[in-house]
């Protein structure tokens, strides 16, 4: 396969990260690049053996067969069993590892794969962690010749890019669970949110932010790819907030902007463990713009950013006030076990492990300040 074809495949993979509807096209292109006519990418929960994410590309698999696979055939798929012991990016030919006797006795082959006109597979684990495994299978008709070493080398050429795209996709589908917000999470929020670097350059923004930039009275605009204010005397304040949020140690802050439609702008340091920071290799800040008419408190903003329940917000508020879980349980007449369960949920949603880390992360949401 040519370098031009490979560039097309790689571009499709990274486009799919930003536009999930394009995953089927990207998986299909990967399969074709490796010499297949159909392809499947599957992320499986290794403990519960259930499908977390599935893409099947090709005419052999209409929607109903995709559903049948996820609900039943994944549990008996010999490819999945084979891949559990494989190394990441170790591509194998099914004809060398799945013998004719297995095929003849396999419900998966006899009732699912062979009736679709498919018989040969080139497969590998393309990403794996402690709890999940993502596999990729390129398939050929049983009337075609089996996959060979040239197909394997072609698969290796896109394999690492596929892994990176999968990891980026997983980060972006974290939704509202933590302030390491992915692109899909940011887009899902009904408030203007964007991610900027230390120079104010915009790395990601959601639709609400785009609408804000188009409104002359919003007080904000994008200039040469950077966020700035429409009022000259407010530019320095915004630049300083971004500087403070991206230096070490980092500090959050807020300012009021706009004249006809007053709003508050919050600048929040992104955690050093943020996948965005790992990808961009530099300090980043989360910028959140709220309409003053909504009168969001800092705690309410925290709740929206982390998708906290009202009960979790009350526990968070108590912890920020310096109270212990035991003191909170006693004061509000709540069972201590219930508070501990809510605390565990707070740890999970904010990506923290200890109470001190949780308080530090929650405390990063800046208080509302007029003027500065």
Q: Average pLDDT, stretch 273-296?
A: 67
User: Do residue 208 and residue 248 come from a single domain?
Assistant: yes
CATH code of 70's domain: 3.30.450.40
* Per-residue pLDDT reduced to its tens digit, 213-225: 888 778 888 888 8
The answer to whether position 98 is within a domain reads: yes
User: Do residue 151 and residue 132 come from a single domain?
Assistant: yes
* Per-residue pLDDT reduced to its tens digit, 17-27: 766 778 989 99
- Judged by DSSP in three states, 46 sits in coil
User: Do residue 245 and residue 346 come from a single domain?
Assistant: yes
User: Do residue 100 and residue 222 come from a single domain?
Assistant: no
Reported pTM: 0.46
- Judged by DSSP in three states, 50 sits in strand
The answer to whether position 372 is within a domain reads: no
User: Do residue 216 and residue 355 come from a single domain?
Assistant: yes
Task: Provide the number of structural domains found in the chain.
Answer: 2
For residue 322, pLDDT over 90 is answered with no
In angstroms, the Cα distances linking 204 to 5, 185, 287 are 28, 11, 10
Can you give the pLDDT at residue 124?
92
Can you give the pLDDT at residue 27?
93
User: Do residue 256 and residue 339 come from a single domain?
Assistant: yes
The answer to whether position 272 is within a domain reads: yes
Q: Distance between CA atoms of 207 and 334, rounded to whole angstroms?
A: 41
Q: Distance between CA atoms of 202 and 337, rounded to whole angstroms?
A: 43
* Per-residue pLDDT reduced to its tens digit, 200-212: 999 888 888 888 8
CATH code of 355's domain: 3.30.450.20
The answer to whether position 189 is within a domain reads: yes
Give the residue numbers spanning the domain of 39.
Answer: 3-172
Dihedral class, residue 225 (left if φ above 0, else alpha if ψ from -120 to 50, else beta) = left
Tokens coding 26: 């990207």
User: Do residue 302 and residue 164 come from a single domain?
Assistant: no
Q: Containing H/E element for 241?
A: helix 235-246
For residue 172, pLDDT over 60 is answered with no
């Amino acid at each position: 396969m040519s370098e031009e074809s490979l560039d097309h495949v790689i571009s499709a993979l990274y486009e799919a990260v930003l536009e999930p509807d394009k995953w089927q096209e990207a998986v299909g292109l990967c399969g074709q690049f490796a010499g297949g006519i159909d392809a499947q990418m599957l992320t499986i929960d290794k403990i519960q053996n259930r499908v977390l994410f599935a893409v099947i590309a090709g005419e052999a698999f209409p929607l109903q067969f995709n559903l049948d696979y996820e609900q039943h055939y994944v549990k008996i798929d010999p490819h999945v069993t084979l891949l559990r012991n494989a190394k990441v990016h170790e591509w194998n030919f099914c004809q060398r590892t799945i013998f004719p006797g297995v095929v003849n006795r396999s419900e998966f082959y006899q009732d699912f794969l062979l009736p679709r006109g498919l018989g040969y597979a080139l497969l590998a684990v393309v990403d794996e962690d402690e709890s999940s495994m993502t596999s990729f299978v390129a398939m050929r008709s049983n009337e075609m010749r089996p996959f060979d070493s040239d197909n394997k080398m072609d698969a290796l050429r896109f394999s690492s890019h596929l892994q990176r795209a999968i990891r980026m996709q997983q980060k972006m589908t974290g939704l509202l669970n933590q302030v390491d917000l992915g692109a899909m999470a940011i887009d899902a929020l009904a408030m203007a949110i964007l991610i900027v670097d230390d120079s104010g350059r915009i790395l990601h923004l959601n639709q609400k932010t785009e609408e804000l930039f188009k409104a002359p009275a919003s007080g904000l605009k994008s200039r040469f790819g950077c966020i700035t204010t429409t009022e000259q005397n407010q530019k320095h304040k915004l630049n300083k907030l971004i500087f403070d949020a991206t230096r070490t140690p980092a500090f959050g802050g807020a300012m009021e902007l706009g004249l006809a439609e007053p709003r508050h702008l919050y600048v929040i340091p992104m955690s050093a463990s943020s996948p965005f920071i790992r990808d961009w290799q530099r300090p980043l800040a989360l910028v959140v713009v709220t309409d003053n008419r909504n009168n969001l408190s800092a705690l309410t903003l925290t709740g929206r950013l982390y998708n906290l329940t009202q009960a979790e917000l009350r526990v968070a508020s108590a912890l920020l006030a310096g109270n212990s879980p035991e003191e909170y349980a006693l004061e509000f007449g709540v069972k201590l076990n219930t508070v501990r369960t809510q605390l565990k949920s707070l740890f999970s949603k904010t990506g923290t492990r200890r109470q001190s880390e949780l308080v530090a992360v929650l405390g990063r949401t800046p208080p509302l300040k007029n003027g500065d």
